[in-house]
Amino acid sequence: MSKKIFTVLLLAVFMLAQFSIASAAVVAGDASITAIPDFANAVDVDIDWAVTGMAGPSQNILIWSRIQNLAVPAVYSTCLDVATIIGTSDASGTFTYVLPAVANGDVVEFLITVESTNCAGAVAPLATEAAMGETTVDSASVRGFYANPPYLDVDVFIYNNPVACNTWEMWGVVSDDYVKPLGYSGFGKWNPLVSGTFAPPAPVGADDELLSWPFTFPSTASDKWAFTVWPEDAAGNKTPVWGVFRDGNLLPPVSDVERADCVDFSDTAGTDTELYVRYLASLDLISGFADGTYGSDLNLTRAEASALFEKANGYDDTMLPATAPAGCEFTDVTASDWFAGWVWQACDDGFMNGVGGGLFDPNNLLTRGQVVTIFNNIQVMGGGAVGSYLDFVTPNSKTVLDVEWNNWGGNLRYAAFTDVSVGAYYAYPVLYAYEVGVADGTSATTFSPDQAATRGEFAKMLYRALSRVANW
């Protein structure tokens, strides 16, 4: 072999070796995950990424995932191609990563790499490689209920039952943590939708676990209409649509009764409890004073409360006992008192008890703790008079009291009241009433159970407690 040929061959071998070394070299680029949600649904998750310091005409950005295993480091089993970068040293973007098969509560870790090839030719990172970001899978939708105004018919309101007057409230409570401590992203939004011949106001509290959506039917309301919400958690899981609707082709249109103004009082306009007071007055469940006022800020006596509870239970003053039933004899309640029959009936039904020493204390003020305790005493009635708003036992016609307080099992809304001591007779009723939306706190951390209840507060709690559950 001539010296010239040998030199050419040696040069070719040297160049081939250099090419092989170059193709196997580590690719330049400093990759990172810049943002990732704490929780994701079981389908996909949006991940923000960035890479700096890339070199060369073409680089591939890859993202890897693994399900966290605290006992044994898991391998990066799944790779997806994020982007191919040509002639650029820095790049960033958002990538929607389609998750592998995951279960509720799984923690999925992610890693970004810069490669000279795509996923098909890339080698997975070592199991010991630290993840750049992680998300917890929340695959469970929110659960809860929505409720419509009090009414007597056994059919569910959304089908064909009218409201009592033109102003009412659709409301509901949801929770995402009934599967805690697994995936729990928290409540996200209600997604309210409206269709029909008129539009109600935006929901109040629509970004919280308790929805309050007041409506007023205008005189032009007619035929088809729908008010719906689509509760969603922070990870994007949605429940089936909850709604109040009528199809004008099949069911009665908005009636003249529904377009009529609710009973009004001279002092309720603009108050927080106006809707509840006026609606219940339209049902003859509460009443005002002779001067045309209702007195929302006035306190409620125990005697007055006994009458209001029993009116809701279907009683009027012609149906009350004339003498005290056994076990309900109180020395401060006599037959000549206007409230005697109401007190005796409330005692006989188990709603209200005496205060000890043979006394009922009819003229003393009813506290907020006592109000919710009475609601808790009511629960499933099954024995009210004809026309009782408390007495519902058929499967699809439940009130908040006889469904949610007995069958839900908790975990709707958690109270953080520092003034409700564990062992107090009202402790459980307070927490339950707040949980299902029947009662509010006086602040984020107080319920004020020993504070006298106002007539307005009572009206709101009574409206909510008598509301009909349409979905849960």
Which segment, 216-220, 374-378, 384-388, 460-464, is predicted with the most confidence on average? Answer: 460-464
Going by C-alpha positions, the residue among 340, 344, 342, 285 that lies closest to residue 311 is 285
Q: Considering 109, 137, 165, which residue would you say is the last residue of a domain?
A: 137
- For residue 328, tell me if it sits in a domain: no
Mean pLDDT of 252-262: 80
Comparing 181 with 211, the larger pLDDT belongs to 211
Residue 362 identity (one-letter amino acid): P
Q: What is the pLDDT of residue 309?
A: 92
Query: What is the chain's length?
Result: 472
Confidence band (pLDDT; 50, 70, 90) for 182? confident
Q: Considering 137, 161, 194, which residue would you say is the last residue of a domain?
A: 137
Residue 318's Cβ-side half-sphere holds a number of Cα atoms within 13 Å equal to: 0
- For residue 343, tell me if it sits in a domain: no
Same domain, 229 and 111: no
Same domain, 88 and 183: no
Q: What is the pLDDT of residue 354?
A: 92
Confidence band (pLDDT; 50, 70, 90) for 149? confident
- For residue 342, tell me if it sits in a domain: no
Cβ contacts of 72 within 8 Å, gap of 6 or more: none
Q: Considering 122, 137, 152, which residue would you say is the last residue of a domain?
A: 137
Residue 115 clears pLDDT 90, i.e. is over it: yes
Q: What is the pLDDT of residue 401?
A: 67
Same domain, 119 and 173: no
Helix, strand, or coil (residue 344): helix
Cβ contacts of 231 within 8 Å, gap of 6 or more: 141, 142, 144, 172, 174, 187, 189, 190, 191, 238, 239, 242
Long-range CB contacts for residues 325-333, cutoff 8 Å, separation at least 24: 329/358, 330/354, 330/358, 330/359, 330/360, 331/358, 331/359, 332/359, 332/360, 332/361, 332/362, 333/360, 333/362
Domain residues for the domain of 46 are: 26-137
Residue 339 clears pLDDT 50, i.e. is over it: yes
Q: What is the pLDDT of residue 72?
A: 78
Same domain, 166 and 109: no
Give the total number of structural domains in the chain: 2
Same domain, 74 and 154: no
Same domain, 119 and 185: no
Mean pLDDT of 145-165: 71
Contact, 393 vs 324, CB < 8 A? no
Q: What is the pLDDT of residue 396?
A: 47
DSSP 382-418: S-PPTT-SS---STT--BIIIIIHHHS-S-S-----T
Cβ contacts of 22 within 8 Å, gap of 6 or more: none
Residue 383 clears pLDDT 80, i.e. is over it: no
Residue 221 clears pLDDT 50, i.e. is over it: yes
Residue 10 clears pLDDT 70, i.e. is over it: no
109 φ, ψ to 5°? Answer: -100, 150
Q: What is the pLDDT of residue 385?
A: 67
**Whole-number average pLDDT of the chain:** 84
- For residue 352, tell me if it sits in a domain: no
Residue 449 clears pLDDT 60, i.e. is over it: yes
From residue 22, give the alpha-carbon distance in Å to each of 19, 25, 41, 56, 114: 5, 5, 42, 12, 16
Percent of the chain clearing pLDDT 90 (strictly above): 52
Going by C-alpha positions, the residue among 184, 178, 187, 170 that lies closest to residue 229 is 170
Q: What is the CATH number of the domain that holds 117?
A: 2.60.40
Q: What is the pLDDT of residue 246?
A: 67
Q: CA-to-CA distance for 240 and 174, rounded, in angstroms?
A: 13
Q: What is the pLDDT of residue 420?
A: 96
Provide the strand spans (E) within 192-285: 193-196, 210-216, 225-229, 232-233, 242-246
Same domain, 46 and 172: no
Same domain, 155 and 126: no
Residue 395 clears pLDDT 50, i.e. is over it: no
Q: What is the pLDDT of residue 154?
A: 53
Residue 328 clears pLDDT 80, i.e. is over it: yes
Same domain, 100 and 185: no
- For residue 170, tell me if it sits in a domain: yes
- For residue 345, tell me if it sits in a domain: no
- For residue 273, tell me if it sits in a domain: yes
Helix, strand, or coil (residue 30): strand
- For residue 311, tell me if it sits in a domain: no
Comparing 70 with 437, the larger pLDDT belongs to 437
Q: CA-to-CA distance for 279 and 45, rounded, in angstroms?
A: 45
DSSP 409-441: -S-S-----TTS-TTSTTHHHHHHHHHTTS---
Out of 154-168, 296-310, 311-325, which region has the weakest mean confidence (pLDDT)?
Answer: 154-168
Q: Residue 48 forms beta bridges with which residues?
A: 35, 94
Mean pLDDT of 45-61: 94
What pLDDT digit, counting tens, does each position of 68-93 carry? 977 777 899 899 999 999 999 999 99
**Residue 142 CA to its chain's centroid (Å):** 7
Q: CA-to-CA distance for 246 and 157, rounded, in angstroms?
A: 10
**Residue 32 CA to its chain's centroid (Å):** 36
- pTM: predicted TM-score of the whole model, two decimal places: 0.83
Same domain, 193 and 245: yes
Contact, 181 vs 147, CB < 8 A? no
Same domain, 400 and 370: yes
Confidence band (pLDDT; 50, 70, 90) for 387? confident
DSSP 146-199: EEE-----SS-HHHHPPPSSSEEEEEEEEESGGGTTSS---EEE---EEEESS-
Q: What is the pLDDT of residue 161?
A: 66
Residue 157 clears pLDDT 60, i.e. is over it: no
Confidence band (pLDDT; 50, 70, 90) for 223? low
Q: What is the pLDDT of residue 8?
A: 35
Helices and strands: H and E segment counts in the chain: 10, 17
Out of 64-73, 95-104, 276-285, 296-305, which region has the weakest mean confidence (pLDDT)?
Answer: 64-73
Direct distance between the N- and C-terminal alpha carbons of the chain, in angstroms, rounded to an integer: 91
* Burial (Cβ within 10 Å: 0-12, 13-18, ≥19) of residue 241: middle
Mean pLDDT of 305-316: 92
Confidence band (pLDDT; 50, 70, 90) for 146? confident
Q: What is the pLDDT of residue 244?
A: 74
Same domain, 408 and 268: yes
Contact, 106 vs 112, CB < 8 A? no
Mean pLDDT of 103-115: 94
Q: What is the pLDDT of residue 307?
A: 96
